[in-house]
Structure 1
Amino acid sequence: MDIIVRPTPKLQGEIGALSSKNYTTRYLLAAALAEGTSTVYYPAHSEDSDAMRRCIQDLGAVLEEDDEKAVITGFGKSPRNVKELNVGNAGAVLRFLMGVAALSEEVTFVNTYPESLGKRPHDDLIDALGQLGVQVDHNEGKLPITIRGGSPKGGRITVSGEVSSQYLSALLFLTPLLAEDSEITVTGDLKSKVVIGQTLEVLGQAGITIHADEDYMFFRVPGGQSYKAQVYTVQGDYPGSAAVLAAAAVTESDVTIRNLAEDSKQGERAIIDVLRMMHVPLTHENGNVRVQGNGRLKALEFDGDTATDAVLAMVAAAVFAEGTSRFYNVENLRYKECDRITDYLTELRKAGANVEERQAEIIVHGRPEGVEGGVEINAHYDHRVIMALTVVGLRSKQPLRIRDAHHVAKSYPQYFDHLKALGADVEWVK
């Protein structure tokens, strides 16, 4: 389905932040890898987290869920042998489970999104799994991918961090379960280091010991460990909230989002600092973020590597800022559900934004007077692109029609409901 986003001068109201997708998927996996029963309170419900739910059950975990919590009895070190796993369009879930699949005899990850996840390469993780003695059959690094494991061996492992930190996270989930100790050396420029901090945080809560160098470029992992069944509570999601906060920043607004912890390890928490640097009136106290927007913003420069999943929302806000903004160190945006630099900027230009791209940079020449809009744009099946383009539509002079906007459900199914509750003029159309 498509969404029509009409100019909306004012947003007002209060919503609760969505539960974190990143923490939900990690807690569900840690629970599945434990022997015993774990409880995850306030797990996210989205296509990505539901893909993890589906796959851990296929691998032998027992999951029972109500409105408040998920109760998972894990399979420990012995996942059930299954012929196929379908992660949908969830890249992180695929990569984490490629590691877990090394404990199984043979698993094929099928390709159900050939125009999105099916285009993304996974060579660096395939190479690292080969160093553990795991045979991987693949299509030039892409899906479908068959893992022939069963008896992976620890030892010295080298993995590139140039494309994604998710390859490293996959190894960090797997290697504690191997009989041997492991040493993991990261080569190249590790992307999204802050997300590795989230992985290590979850592993520590699950009773796993990993010795990490301060720069996250070298890890010592004792073998023979077991995940402990635990009780986890999922915190509020900054990546999804970033788009709502950007929408409040570019309009006349008085918007509050609850359940966004000030001390969160989510790198996308930087949206708060970025909006402040853009002179957006904002307070953050007791887990509540309140934006009293006036539609006036100042340009800035920002290193986006620390907040990958909030950069597109930041760029959307910068479209209406006074001056030229630059978001640098963001090349890994090219390796997501779509090329989030070229594809996103192409659509922004259609709407009337003045933007430029470099290999690892996005440059935005702000238009405080607004953009023209009045066009149909393609979100490239990407939930982050959909959310960010919606922000632009709220300040366009004429409506934007965003194609296939239902793919926002990948991470934030309630996004348009939440915007409507705040007063946004958005309408679903077939």
Structure 2
Amino acid sequence: MNSITIHPAQKLEGAITVPGDKSVSHRAVMFGSLAEGESRVENLLLGEDVLSTMRIFQQLGVRMSHKPEDLSPSDTLVISGVGLDGLRPSDQILDCGNSGTTMRLLLGLLAAQPFTSRFTGDASLNRRPMERVIEPLKKMGAQFEVNHEASGRRIITVKGNKNLKGIDYTMPVASAQVKSAILLAGLYAKGETVVHEPAQSRDHTERMLKGLGAFFKSRKLTHSVRPGSKLKNFQMRVPGDFSSAAFFMVAGLVVPHSKLLIQNVGVNPTRDALMSVLEEMVVSKKGSKEKKLSLVDKREVSGEPVADIEVLSADLKAISIGGDIIPKLIDEIPVFSIAAARAKGDSVVADAKELRVKESDRIKTMCQHLKTLGVGVDEREDGFKVHGGKPFPFKAGKFQSFGDHRVAMSLAVAALVADGPSVIEDIDCVATSFPGFFDLLLKLSLKSV
């Protein structure tokens, strides 16, 4: 179990890039595998979660130019797609590691195959609920068995069924993973499969289905798919991950005298809600036209909106968030809590109960750490209330990530504005989404000395 010591920073300054978007990377591997012919993917995220997806599709008979462990950031991954009906059974248990996206989307895809598959994951993933995916898939005719071994390992057996039937399903909670799992199963099901969302979640699956020629329609919060299509091969450059950029956006705002440019970031409107939240939190000085947070050079790359993000240090004021915006920034709430702790006034997060079933209970975990930092916070069932703007800086300390990559990186941001060195324990988990995060943070900090 590795740890790292983070020292306070005088300022952060420089231009950086962040790794490829995790959500887009997963889907690029999946749809490249299901397409007809050869697809090429640049800037694929090399985090452990995406590598788990690569390994599983290779186990299912898909040829790729690289083994996961041999792929480097500058490589182009070439995927020899097998078509929608070309996957082959594996006699091995399909290990999703820590990746909920891998497991949930593949439960939908493999439910429609003419063979049986078995899934497991690491200790953290094996505790995370899968019922929200399994229940609608059962309505389509899918069959599952869930068993727990004495060791605690969970094995989910999917008994594939080529005769799934389309359903009209209203989701109780907005979730891109559940939506995507149902739509993937719907590519094979008889009749039309329709999914209604209660609020908009990230739309990377819908963009790819539409762009690759699936029989797919989407209107506002309703999405439908029919069987019988063939998916076209493609070339893609994966944009930088907005969720990874979020740590540096908050760091740039809270560390005094900072000036950052985060380049080539995906700014999909179903993903970038933190941008508007932070913009609203910035305190504008009277008479000043200087923007502390802004998008520049907006463009489209491989069907996804991309921009550079300029960040300048700023004073912040409190804000309350809840309702429909939560699915659009659910992954950024841990680092948002650090911004809220520096903001003047009381900030509230509501309607975010899903945080309790992430890699850790992120509500409980972040509330615990905010108290250690010297911040007043009230934990609530579906969120928390942060009493921000207290005397600066934070209290340094020793912090446990609980195996949660986003918690570890959020604490690193907080440590930059603490009153001394802070230790963050169990940081190996950061490799699931942001390999090289601490090296990049250290590089920016050293530039400020």
- Give your verdict on TM over 0.5: yes
1:168: which partner in 2? 179
Whole-angstrom distance in 1 between the partners of 2:147 and 2:379: 30
292, 296, 299: which one pairs with 2:318?
299
Whole-angstrom distance in 2 between the partners of 1:131 and 1:288: 43
Query: For 2:175, what is the secondary structure of its paired residue?
Result: coil
1:181: which partner in 2? 191
206, 213, 218: which one pairs with 1:212?
218
Contact 1:46–1:413 (Cα < 8 Å) also in 2:
yes
How far the C-alpha of 1:372 sits from its partner, in A, is 4.4
Contact 1:347–1:379 (Cα < 8 Å) also in 2:
no
Whole-angstrom distance in 2 between the partners of 1:355 and 1:424: 32
Contact 1:99–1:170 (Cα < 8 Å) also in 2:
yes
Whole-angstrom distance in 1 between the partners of 2:125 and 2:86: 27
Question: What whole-Å deviation, never above 9, does each CA across 1:31-70 have from its counterpart, x for those lacking one?
Answer: 1111211111221111111111111111111111462421
Contact 1:105–1:149 (Cα < 8 Å) also in 2:
yes
Query: For 2:107, what is the secondary structure of its paired residue?
Result: helix
Whole-angstrom distance in 2 between the partners of 1:152 and 1:371: 61
1:86: which partner in 2? 95
How far the C-alpha of 1:319 sits from its partner, in A, is 0.9
399, 408, 416: which one pairs with 1:394?
416
Aligned pairs (5 A) from 1:64-103: 64-65=65-66, 67-76=74-83, 77-83=85-91, 84-102=93-111, 103=113
Whole-angstrom distance in 2 between the partners of 1:271 and 1:164: 17
Whole-angstrom distance in 1 between the partners of 2:389 and 2:226: 54
Q: 1:226 to 1:387 in 2, by over 3 A?
A: same
198, 204, 207: which one pairs with 1:201?
207
Query: For 2:278, what is the secondary structure of its paired residue?
Result: helix
Query: For 2:409, what is the secondary structure of its paired residue?
Result: helix
Contact 1:268–1:308 (Cα < 8 Å) also in 2:
no
Question: What whole-Å deviation, never above 9, does each CA across 1:114-133 have from its counterpart, x for those lacking one?
Answer: 2x111111112212222232
Query: For 1:297, what is the secondary structure of its paired residue?
Result: coil
Contact 2:141–2:161 (Cα < 8 Å) also in 1:
no
Letter in 2 for 1:148: K
Query: For 1:389, what is the secondary structure of its paired residue?
Result: helix
1:419: which partner in 2? 441
How far the C-alpha of 1:148 sits from its partner, in A, is 0.8
Whole-angstrom distance in 1 between the partners of 2:163 and 2:251: 47
410, 426, 430: which one pairs with 1:404?
426
* Alignment of 1:256 onto 2:256: no
Question: What whole-Å deviation, never above 9, does each CA across 1:232-265 have from its counterpart, x for those lacking one?
Answer: 221121001001111111112011111125xx32
How far the C-alpha of 1:147 sits from its partner, in A, is 0.4
Letter in 1 for 2:101: A
Q: 1:266 to 1:22 in 2, by over 3 A?
A: farther
TM-score, normalising length: structure 2:
0.86
Letter in 2 for 1:299: A
* Alignment of 1:329 onto 2:329: no
Query: For 1:284, what is the secondary structure of its paired residue?
Result: strand
1:226: which partner in 2? 230
Query: For 1:74, what is the secondary structure of its paired residue?
Result: strand
How far the C-alpha of 1:283 sits from its partner, in A, is 2.8
Aligned pairs (5 A) from 1:319-398: 319-398=341-420
Question: What whole-Å deviation, never above 9, does each CA across 1:166-213 have from its counterpart, x for those lacking one?
Answer: 1121111231234x22233447x45xx231x22101111221122234
Q: 1:143 to 1:186 in 2, by over 3 A?
A: farther
Q: 1:98 to 1:145 in 2, by over 3 A?
A: same
Contact 1:177–1:225 (Cα < 8 Å) also in 2:
no
Letter in 1 for 2:158: I
Contact 1:173–1:203 (Cα < 8 Å) also in 2:
no
Query: For 2:82, what is the secondary structure of its paired residue?
Result: coil
269, 279, 282: which one pairs with 1:279?
282
Q: 1:161 to 1:63 in 2, by over 3 A?
A: farther
Letter in 2 for 1:300: I
How large is the RMSD of aligned CA atoms in angstroms? 2.1
Contact 1:51–1:87 (Cα < 8 Å) also in 2:
yes
Contact 1:208–1:226 (Cα < 8 Å) also in 2:
yes
1:428: which partner in 2? none
Query: For 1:423, what is the secondary structure of its paired residue?
Result: helix
How far the C-alpha of 1:155 sits from its partner, in A, is 2.3
Whole-angstrom distance in 1 between the partners of 2:42 and 2:433: 18
Whole-angstrom distance in 1 between the partners of 2:400 and 2:332: 19
Whole-angstrom distance in 1 between the partners of 2:105 and 2:392: 42
Whole-angstrom distance in 1 between the partners of 2:269 and 2:4: 29
Whole-angstrom distance in 1 between the partners of 2:443 and 2:132: 43
Greater mean deviation of Cα atoms: 268-277 or 82-91:
268-277
Question: What whole-Å deviation, never above 9, does each CA across 1:308-354 have from its counterpart, x for those lacking one?
Answer: 11121111111111111112222221221111111221122122221
Q: 1:74 to 1:232 in 2, by over 3 A?
A: same
Query: Structure 2: which 5+ residue stretches go unaligned?
Result: 284-291, 298-306
Contact 2:164–2:188 (Cα < 8 Å) also in 1:
no
Whole-angstrom distance in 2 between the partners of 1:399 and 1:152: 59
How far the C-alpha of 1:371 sits from its partner, in A, is 4.8
Contact 1:305–1:329 (Cα < 8 Å) also in 2:
no
Whole-angstrom distance in 2 between the partners of 1:410 and 1:52: 12
Query: For 1:324, what is the secondary structure of its paired residue?
Result: strand
Letter in 2 for 1:293: S
1:138: which partner in 2? 146
